[in-house]
Structure 1
Amino acid sequence: MKKILVIVLFFGIQFSFVSCSKDSDSINEQILMAETFMNVSYGSNAQQKYDLYLPADRSTEKTKVIVLVHGGGWVEGDKAEMEFFIPYIKLRHPNHAIVNINYVLADANTPAFPNQFLNLDAVINKLTTEKNELNILPQFGLIGVSAGAHISLMYDYAYDPDDQVKMVGDIVGPSDFTDPFYSENPAFPAYMAALVDESAYPTGTDYATVLSPAFRVSNASSPTLLFYGNADPLVPLSNATTLNSKLNNAGIDHNFTVYNGGHGDWAPNDIEDVKAQLSAFVDTYLGVN
């Protein structure tokens, strides 16, 4: 009798220990704190860095990722220019992770294309590989400004075969380099040649077309928001209307908004409208389950 009692007590203690251990693990999973990692390296170049903002109570089942991509004509700019978005995203979408990226800027030795698209690919691949460590779900929304919008559009339309990107926010992004605004500019061919790594493309490639997001739209493209100015000296409104038409023809859900002003220098209420539309798109296409 005593021996049976000892066995019962032993297994009771073991069961209690296992139960407590599981409860403890469960509690630990539930109380993940928000974390920020600045200047995370994703490549060998010193410019290949991103800032990562992880929310509290994140998990691989629900924590999707918003990626911010700065502008600067492919040759300048920095992720610091996108920081103004971050407090709004944290407030409006507290359950999303945020990644604010730098990419390798083009210079005499390093062309922009396709390297900058591949930089974004490297970021997405790194985050995907580390999804369990970071407790994130590798589904992405891209928000880019100017050159960053061009990179974001090109990535989604041409470099995302696994459909990890679920939405794109395009703020004044160049989308059609065949537009006379560019093609009839005497300096444009030299500028394009300087930006392109010709060894990465087949001989005879029409770079103006291949590098234009408007001509890469397909029925696999992600829902896209377009924001443009009606007096933009850098990206003509005709670029936006061409992209809008291509998205219409492909049946891609999108919205096209034109503001009074130039290259993003719009009225404060227009900037708030951009944020609100992006936020609604995140809810629709990158919502937390």
Structure 2
Amino acid sequence: MKKFFILLLFFGIQYSFISCSKDSENNEAETLTETISLNVSYGNDPQQKYDLYLPANRSVSKTKVILLIHGGGWVEGDKSDMDLFIPYIKLRHPNHAIVNINYVLADADTPAFPNQFLDVDAVINKLTSEKDELQILPEFALIGASAGAHISLMYDYVYDTDDQVKMVGDIVGPTDFTDPFYSENPNFPVLMAALVDESAYPSGTNYMEVLSPALRVSADSSPTLLFYGSEDPLVPLTNGNTLNTALIAFQIDHNFTVYEGGHGDWAPMAIENMKEQISTYIDTHLAVAQ
């Protein structure tokens, strides 16, 4: 009888401790207010900055992260180009954190590849290491436009070895540099040579292939949304078709949408449809626990 009483007392104490811990965590989460931190540094380069939007009542057990990556042909653009998504995301997904990043733009001294992929890795590593301080759960959606979509796809398909990325939104991203649209352009090899840090790749690497996300799809690739224009002068619709075919072959959950128009200059109804699809995917693949 005495032994039974001691066991009962022990489990009572354990239950009380767990309950208090959960209550403490919940109370702490409830005291956290919305926080916005602009131009947070994640590296030594002045361009390595991001804007961080942390929701109220966040916690390390539930607050997942939506990461935005701007376009600009790898050589220009700014995180402010993605600001239009932020009010929509905050309205539709008020319990998610948002990170809007700058990466080091390519120039004569700093090639784009693989450095821009590694910039995304540095952001994710920094956020992961600070998860307790920030009260976030380091699981991510990557939403990229144009070159930012290419960077997002490459990061998920090649660099996300810890499977922290749970979905990718690809808005007019280049996916296949072996496409005749690129490979038959006499100026493109010069551009590719300028964008690649050859010292970071083995001798004899076929850069057209290794830097093409559609050719790097695997069974480990994350669910992917594809949005392309029917008459895009910069990224051919065939690039969307090629990625769509690869995702089908590996049975990756995805959706492929083609809008009338060019490089993202679509009708307002199309833009709203794109946002709604992204939102539905966030609800499905980056859901916040209640």
**Paired residue secondary structure (1:91):** helix
**Paired residue secondary structure (2:122):** helix
Q: What corresponds to 1:116 in structure 2?
A: 116
Q: What corresponds to 2:223 in structure 1?
A: 223
Distance 2:239 2:278 in 1: 20
In structure 2, stretches of 5+ residues that fail to align are: 1-18
How far 1:27 sits from its partner (Å)? 3.1
Q: What corresponds to 1:100 in structure 2?
A: 100
Equivalent residue pairs, number: 271
Distance 1:22 1:204 in 2: 56
Bigger Rg, structure 1 or 2: 1
How far 1:22 sits from its partner (Å)? 10
Percent identical across equivalent pairs? 74
Q: Deviations over 1:130-153 (max 9, x none)?
A: 000000000000000000000000
Q: What corresponds to 2:12 in structure 1?
A: none
Aligned-partner residue type, residue 84 of structure 1: L
Would you say 1:131 and 2:131 are equivalent positions? yes
How far 1:28 sits from its partner (Å)? 3.5
Distance 1:167 1:103 in 2: 20
Distance 1:221 1:25 in 2: 34
Structure 1 residues 223 and 25: alpha-carbon distance in aligned structure 2, compared to 1, 3 A threshold:
closer
Q: What corresponds to 1:255 in structure 2?
A: 255
Aligned-partner residue type, residue 198 of structure 2: E
Matches within 5 A, 1:138-287: 138-287=138-287
4+ aligned runs moved over 4 Å, structure 1 = 19-26
Structure 1 residues 220 and 87: alpha-carbon distance in aligned structure 2, compared to 1, 3 A threshold:
same
**Paired residue secondary structure (1:234):** coil
Distance 1:160 1:31 in 2: 33
- The alignment's TM-score, normalised by the length of structure 1, stands at 0.92
In structure 1, stretches of 5+ residues that fail to align are: 1-18
- The alignment's TM-score, normalised by the length of structure 2, stands at 0.91
**Paired residue secondary structure (1:45):** coil
Distance 1:99 1:283 in 2: 18
Aligned-partner residue type, residue 288 of structure 2: V
Distance 2:106 2:129 in 1: 27
Structure 1 residues 140 and 20: alpha-carbon distance in aligned structure 2, compared to 1, 3 A threshold:
closer
How far 1:172 sits from its partner (Å)? 0.0
Structure 1 residues 24 and 112: alpha-carbon distance in aligned structure 2, compared to 1, 3 A threshold:
closer
How far 1:23 sits from its partner (Å)? 7.1
